Amino acid sequence: MTGARCYGRSTLDAGQTAFVAVSWGGRPPTSVEEACVQRDDTVTYWRDWLSNGTFPDHPWRSYIERSALTLKGLSYAPTGAVMAAATTSLPETPGGARNWDYRYTWIRDSSFMLRSLYRLGFAWEALEYFAFVLEAVSGGAPGGWDLQIMYGIGGEKDLTERTLDHLSGYENSRPVRVGNGAWDQRQNDVWGMILDAVDTQIRLGAAQIVEATWEGIASLVDAAIAHAADPDQGIWEIRGDPQHFTASKVLCWIAMDRGSDLAGARQDHDRAVQWRKAADDLKAEILDKGVDERGRFRQHYANDELDASLLLIPILGFLPPEDERVRTTVLAIADELTEDGLALRYKVDTTDTGFGGKEGTFTICSFWLVTALAMIGEHDRARSLCKKLLSFAGPLQLYAEEINAATGEHLGNFPQAFTHLALIDAVGRLIDAEHAGVL
């Protein structure tokens, strides 16, 4: 043992065996036979866990299974939290400064996490995750809740960012960061994501919401109404000036829409009526200010740029996929906001992100594009893009945050939960369409 490095050398003759074990807090094996038993026990555990899921009989099944294993592997058993990724500071551009710590839980993931876990039949994992989200958001106290965009896997709220300047980072990409400076940003999409998650849990998980929890949820809807008119940093956590992002407005509408439905189901009549009116008023504003003269949705109210977050409009049900504005927007993103067919989040030269430099195509956005294309009836195009995306999977069918469309290199933190959530939805929808005879 020398400093932070451990060395070992062994020469084997034909027929001899050896093992290497790395342990943190557990008892490592002391013999080859014990090592093989532990290895076989690990394989059996994961295969048994996976056998409890519901997976389609299809050539793409293994991609969905691997995504499920990834979500489970990123989960933290003591609390039920699921990390966004297992790494920090793997760069979006090698040598660049877009290097973030993703070892936290984003509220943004909550809606898609529950949808995916229930889709695959993992109700217990869904319940554990939902319980963690509620505990983190409520702080363990009843009444009005203080929602932030992300939390530590133990429910920690202060995720102050600092840099480790003594480390060079992957391919000399500096800085290496611990913590995430976006933790206290204003991102108005979070209210919609958590209300959609609550709605999903009640519908698919048959959850019962006690009165104290309902009052906390109601405070989140009220907060969405109060802040819907405010600019924010948007779903992509830009570090430039706040804007009136269309997707953020749509997610505020989701909070009001889901909240009104939930209130109606609870016979909370006054709130149901009040929140429905707020939702209708906001929808009217979005359709007035969030659509450009070409009939497609814009990135924010002050420009006519495209943004991949607009793909959430049909996915989350703000408008039906047959709406012409939806179709026009989806096709515009497919034609104009892609590199070699893979989707970008936005154009970096026209979006004030607070940083310079390029970024790769964003893999979750590409899978969202698959879903949106399928929803508007462009099934052949959706299938072609999906096949291309699956061809970029790593040897273990894992995905990082981004893909360099020219080289196929994976960029950003790895493996990323959000990407695998989008994969489950996109691939699942195409398989369902194929089984229904649409493809």
30 φ/ψ angles, rounded to the nearest 5 degrees: -115, 0
Q: State the Cα angle at 129 between 127 and 135, rounded to 5°.
A: 100
Specify if 43 maps to a domain: no
Question: How many Cβ atoms from other residues are within 10 Å of residue 115's Cβ?
Answer: 20
In the predicted model, what is the mean pLDDT of residues 344-366? Answer: 78
The domain total for the chain is 1
In the predicted model, what is the mean pLDDT of residues 8-13? Answer: 88
What is the three-state SS of 293-332? CCCCECCECCCCCCCHHHHHHHHCCCCCCCCHHHHHHHHH
- Among 106, 117, 103, 121, residue whose Cα is nearest residue 71: 117
CATH number at residue 259: 1.50.10.10
DSSP state for residue 143 in the 8-state scheme: S
Specify if 381 maps to a domain: yes
| Structural domain span for residue 263 | 65-435
Specify if 15 maps to a domain: no
Q: What is the pLDDT of residue 236?
A: 86
Per-residue confidence at 141, pLDDT binned at 50, 70, 90? low
Specify if 348 maps to a domain: yes
Specify if 33 maps to a domain: no
Q: What is the pLDDT of residue 352?
A: 65
SS3 197: helix
Q: Going by C-beta distance under 8 Å and a sequence separation of 6 or more, which residues neighbour residue 217?
A: 145, 195, 198, 209, 259, 262
The pLDDT tens digits for 281-340 are 999 999 999 999 999 999 999 999 999 999 999 999 999 999 999 999 999 999 999 999
The pLDDT tens digits for 33-78 are 999 999 999 999 999 999 999 999 999 999 999 999 999 999 999 9
pTM of the model: 0.91
The pLDDT tens digits for 186-196 are 788 899 999 99
The pLDDT tens digits for 13-39 are 999 998 888 877 778 899 999 999 999
* DSSP notation for 40-87: HHHHHHHHHHHHTS---SSTTHHHHHHHHHHHHHTEETTTTEE-SBS-
Whether pLDDT at 144 is above 90: no
Specify if 10 maps to a domain: no
Distance CA(87)–CA(415), nearest Å, equals 8
The pLDDT tens digits for 109-126 are 899 999 999 999 999 999
More confident residue, 400 or 21: 400
The pLDDT tens digits for 310-325 are 999 999 999 999 999 9
Q: What is the average pLDDT score of the chain?
A: 91
Distance CA(310)–CA(336), nearest Å, equals 14
Specify if 85 maps to a domain: yes
Task: Kindly state the tokens that stand for 409.
Answer: 């290199």
The tally of CA atoms less than 13 A away on the side-chain side of residue 382 is 26
